[in-house]
Amino acid sequence: MGDYKTWGRSRSTRLRYFDYAAPNVAYHVIMGARDRRAIFSDELTNNRVTGLLSRSAQIHGYNLLAYCLMPDHLHILIQSGKWPHDLRQFIRGFKSSVTRATGRSLWQRGFFEHVLRKEENILAVAEYILNNPVRKGLVSRREEYRWGKILL
């Protein structure tokens, strides 16, 4: 087999030459729950997660534009401010703060991000994020879902 070994190696899905600490960049980020379980289903946990999300974004230099905490994953729409920390540092810090606050590891390793292009409409992405519970059949209208919000 030689040197061909893929298991046990970390594979980055990040863009190779992109500056993840650049100002004024919008991202749609998705973080999965550990083992894709529906663990975001109780009010106490969900309040902690959403509260820590707002605080972590502010601490790391990001504006939280929208979010939707689904039972097994979290969508966020953020935009870096003038002097942001690296996106990876923000996500790592947020996940760690949730783990400390809840006393358990809730997150799947890694995350997925989509860097919004200049021609993409931020409000349309926020609408897409907030309609996730409707598409998944959790509610019939997005206003019925408590764990999603547009902050634009």
Residue 87 CB burial class (10 angstroms; 0-12, 13-18, ≥19): buried
Q: What structural domains does the chain harbor?
A: 26-150 (3.30.70.1290)
Lowest mean pLDDT among 15-24, 53-62, 119-128: 15-24
Is the pTM value of this prediction over 0.85?
Answer: yes
pLDDT of amino acid 13: 64
**SS3 state of residue 45:** helix
Q: What is the gyration radius of the CA atoms in the chain, in angstroms?
A: 16
Average pLDDT over residues 58-74: 97
- Model confidence at 12: pLDDT above 80: no
- Model confidence at 9: pLDDT above 90: no
- Model confidence at 87: pLDDT above 90: yes
